[in-house]
Amino acid sequence: MRAEHLTDDRLIELSTLEAPSATEQRHLSACARCDARRVRLQRLLEDVSDAATAAADAAFPPERLARQQSRILARLLHEGRPARVIAFPAGHTQPEPVAARTRPRSRWIAAAAVAGLVVGVIAGRFGHDYSFSRPARVIVAHTAEQPELRAPGSTGTIREVTASISEDEFLNQLEMAIDSPAAAALQPIDDLTPRAWDVR
Amino acid sequence: MSRTPPRRAPSTVAGAAAPLAPLSRDSQLAAEIKGLVASGDRDAARDRYGELVAHQQRRAVRIAYQYLRDAHDADEAVQDAFVKVFTHIISYREDLPFEVWFTRILVNACLDLRKSRARRLRWAVPMSSSSDTPPSDPATPEPTPEQRLVSRERADEITAAVESLPDRQRTVFTLCHVAEQTTAEVSQALGLSEATVRVHLFRAVRKLRRLLDHAS
């Protein structure tokens, strides 16, 4: 019986995915050429695995693994626990009532300060009432009130941004702005603009 | 130093889904930790979790390092994955191998880190344009005996070849040949069908052979 040589693809399947059939096994036993090709492929895969594991093992020697394990367990120790409240130093507690030691003059000063604060808050509320009734938002542009700045066809909507956004959100917004078609028109200007790190 | 050869996918008829192996010791340990957390004994759970970390750590850093090619990033991804596993241990399903569940979380941690790194690199201003060479990792120690066996040049060639694989192929190849998982386990870890995993693995090996076989 003369079986055909195994194809390269079949050798890959035999080396990684499945065992050879009985016919293939007989052929591999009889055909030195095919068997050598299979051994060569297996050796190559072992080389790749060895190189990968050796690189990782070199980067992570046992002492580094031990440090890593300690850090993981330390992180778990703090996981889900409320923040520690530091107690006020016990040595500063007053043995006698505070009122007994304060002088009448200092009490008047404290009362005046409180009264001033209350008056200031009330006056501020009447003078700048909008600050209490509106949400804290920053208006970036209001094109409806500035028709000369409005682009033809624009709807004149108010664009608002929240005062604080996370770094990831900020980068997301930047990426979306850059990917928009309108940004392509600015490319020539960008090309002309020197980079900060290019300027010496 | 001896190491076990890569665990090959089950030798069954092509295309047939192989059954998963019986639950490992780590799966039983994970189930025990889940029980301790559920009963409120968090300190005992943490102690037992230390053992689980020790068992899985080496395999985890190999996967992460192969994925990220940076020791610091791999360190961070592995730590994040282990912390995440513990904080979500209550959602661990005891009928699945712990290794599969953990691998899935680890791969996601690597993906998140790589995405975040790419984003930061894109916006970062280079500190100096005079040196184009990347900084070497100060934590990388002397090469191991294993590393010395494979020549430096050959190792670089292999690294470049593996890195040239498309992401999916590289992930599947890494999990099968570095993490020594079966195609059935990889399919569960990545949420892909086993047939898809086999196709990716086949293509990865074919490409590696084309790139590397000439010099071996």
Percent of chain B with pLDDT over 70: 75
Q: Of all helices (H) and strands (E), which one includes residue A160?
A: strand A158-161
Each residue's pLDDT tens digit, A142-186: 444 445 445 555 554 545 555 566 777 777 777 777 777 777 777
Start-end of CATH 1.10.1740.10 domains in chain B: 22-123
How far apart, in whole angstroms, are the C-alpha atoms of residue B163 and residue B66?
9
Q: Which residues contact B3 (CB under 8 A, 6 or more apart)?
A: A50, A53, B146
A to B CB pairs, distance under 8 Å: 168
A69 contact residues in B (CB cutoff 8 A): 50, 53-54, 57
Asked if residue A56 lies in contact with residue B66, where contact means CB atoms within 8 angstroms, the answer is yes
The dihedrals phi and psi of A138, each to the nearest 5 degrees, come to -110, 120
Burial environment of residue B201 by CB neighbours within 10 A (0 to 12, 13 to 18, 19 or more): buried
Nearest CA in chain A to B147: A54
Report for A13-22, A164-173, B106-115: range of highest mean pLDDT: B106-115
Average pLDDT, integer, range A119-138: 63
Each residue's pLDDT tens digit, B134-161: 444 445 556 566 556 556 788 888 888 9
pLDDT (0 to 100) of residue B105: 94
Q: Give me the residues of A, 46-65, that contact B with CB < 8 A.
A: 46-61, 64-65
Asked if residue A139 lies in contact with residue A161, where contact means CB atoms within 8 angstroms, the answer is no
Asked if residue B20 lies in contact with residue B185, where contact means CB atoms within 8 angstroms, the answer is yes
Confidence of residue B1 (pLDDT cuts 50, 70, 90): very low
Confirm or reject CATH 3.40.50.300 for domain B143-216, answering yes or no.
Answer: no
Q: Is A4 on the interface with B (CB under 8 A)?
A: no
Distance of CA A139 to the CA centre of its chain: 27
How far apart, in whole angstroms, are the C-alpha atoms of residue B193 and residue B177?
18
ipTM for the predicted complex comes to: 0.73
Choose the weakest-confidence range: A93-97, A188-192, B80-84.
Answer: A93-97
Q: Which residue has the higher pLDDT, B193 or A161?
A: B193
The amino acid occupying position B210 is R
Above 80 in pLDDT, residue B214? no
How far apart, in whole angstroms, are the C-alpha atoms of residue A112 and residue A153?
59
Kindly determine whether residue B213 and residue A40, on different chains, have CB atoms separated by under 8 Å: yes
Each residue's pLDDT tens digit, A19-33: 888 888 888 888 899
Each residue's pLDDT tens digit, B28-39: 899 999 999 999
Start-end of CATH 1.10.10.10 domains in chain B: 143-216
Going B22 to B27 to B29 to B33, the CA torsion angle's sign is: negative
pLDDT (0 to 100) of residue A164: 60
Cα dihedral A169, A175, A178, A180 in deg (nearest 10): -80
Please report where in the chains the tokens 């209550």 appear, as a residue.
B90
Q: Is A36 on the interface with B (CB under 8 A)?
A: no
Q: Is A7 on the interface with B (CB under 8 A)?
A: no
Asked if residue A24 lies in contact with residue A14, where contact means CB atoms within 8 angstroms, the answer is yes
Compute the nearest-CA separation of B140 from chain A (Å). Answer: 5
Compute the mean pLDDT over every residue in chain B, rounded to the nearest whole number: 80
Q: Is B118 on the interface with A (CB under 8 A)?
A: no
Kindly determine whether residue A45 and residue B205, on different chains, have CB atoms separated by under 8 Å: yes
Q: How many residues does chain A have?
A: 200
Confidence of residue B207 (pLDDT cuts 50, 70, 90): very high
Each residue's pLDDT tens digit, A41-82: 999 999 899 888 888 999 999 999 999 999 999 998 877 666
The per-residue DSSP string of B95-149 comes to TS-HHHHHHHHHHHHHHHHHHHHHHHHHHPPPS-SS--SPPP-TT--SPPHHHHH
How far apart, in whole angstroms, are the C-alpha atoms of residue A158 and residue A144?
8
Question: Using alpha carbons only, how large is chain B's radius of gyration in Å?
Answer: 19
Kindly determine whether residue A18 and residue B140, on different chains, have CB atoms separated by under 8 Å: no
The CATH number of B22-123, from 3.20.20.60, 1.10.1740.10, 3.90.660.20, 1.20.140.10, is 1.10.1740.10
Average pLDDT, integer, range B119-144: 55
Above 80 in pLDDT, residue B26? yes
Above 70 in pLDDT, residue A197? no
A47 contact residues in B (CB cutoff 8 A): 150, 154, 158, 212, 216
How far apart, in whole angstroms, are the C-alpha atoms of residue B154 and residue B169?
21
Compute the nearest-CA separation of A86 from chain B (Å). Answer: 23
pLDDT (0 to 100) of residue A91: 57
